[in-house]
């Protein structure tokens, strides 16, 4: 379903999901109340990017632990050909080109008892570079239709995968990891050592490694987006 403007494609997805099939896609030309993690909200400008939510019904509840990471990894791989350099991943849900933010994922799950009834995979991508110092877009001349050919199948593969991350997926993540080796202040202080199969970020400090499941990484040194 395509809309000229909505508050949030995630909100539309949750209204439709009780009767919607897996793979139902909601697209908007503009979001006036898009949202991210921790309740952050922003406007997604008309015609400047891809603002979508995909409805899926995963059968393996364990895979939900790593769904955001899988979606990010698979989308990054799908977008390489349209970016100036290989797309990088930042735990838990952001995509970067160089040190500039390109895209982000937000996944919301609705449960029936202990089983997931559906997931709404929200994804926002800058096709053109926004007027924000920390952000970037795809290469000049790319239309908004071009990324959809890769993004939607990538998210569908991620949503139907089972179990935690495989050794192959961990290796592919590490090859794109923006954070590994950097000093962070949050969610705990230390140096990022990567992620584990269950999607936790590993942060080393004074010989101890903390495995952290929630929060966002705050770097001690700001990223040099230019």
Query: Which pLDDT band, with edges at 50, 70 and 90, does 48 fall under?
Result: confident
Give the model confidence (pLDDT) of 160-204 as tens digits.
Answer: 999 999 999 999 999 999 999 999 999 999 999 999 999 999 999
d(CA 21, CA 16): 9
Cβ(195)–Cβ(180) below 8 Å: no
What number does CATH give the domain 2-176? 3.30.930.10
Give the model confidence (pLDDT) of 103-113 as tens digits.
Answer: 999 999 999 88
Beta bridge partners, 100, equal: 97
d(CA 175, CA 158): 18
Domain(s) labelled CATH 3.30.930.10 in the chain stretch across: 2-176
Task: Supply the pLDDT for residue 41.
Answer: 53
Give the model confidence (pLDDT) of 112-121 as tens digits.
Answer: 888 889 999 9
Task: Supply the pLDDT for residue 1.
Answer: 87
- Segment among 9-18, 28-37, 53-62 with least mean pLDDT: 28-37
């Amino acid at each position: 379903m395509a809309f000229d403007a909505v508050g949030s494609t995630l909100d539309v997805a949750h209204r439709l999901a009780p009767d919607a099939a897996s793979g139902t896609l909601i697209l908007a030309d503009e979001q006036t109340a898009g949202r991210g993690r921790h309740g952050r909200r922003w406007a997604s400008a008309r015609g400047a990017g891809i603002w979508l939510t995909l409805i899926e019904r995963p059968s393996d509840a364990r895979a939900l632990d790593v769904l955001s990471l899988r979606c990010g990894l698979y989308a990054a791989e799908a977008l390489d050909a349209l970016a100036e350099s290989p797309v990088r991943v930042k735990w838990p849900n952001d995509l970067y080109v160089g040190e500039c933010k390109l895209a982000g994922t937000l996944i919301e799950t609705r449960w029936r008892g202990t089983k997931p009834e559906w997931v709404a995979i929200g994804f926002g991508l800058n096709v053109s570079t926004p007027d924000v110092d920390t952000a970037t877009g795809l290469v000049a001349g790319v239309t908004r239709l071009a990324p959809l050919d890769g993004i939607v199948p990538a998210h569908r593969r991620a949503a139907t995968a089972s179990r935690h991350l495989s050794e192959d997926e961990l290796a592919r993540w590490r090859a794109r990891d923006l954070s590994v080796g950097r000093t962070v202040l949050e969610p705990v202080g230390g140096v990022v050592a990567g992620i584990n199969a269950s999607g936790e970020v590993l942060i080393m400090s004074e010989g101890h490694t903390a495995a952290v499941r929630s929060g966002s990484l705050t770097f001690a040194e700001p990223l040099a987006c230019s």
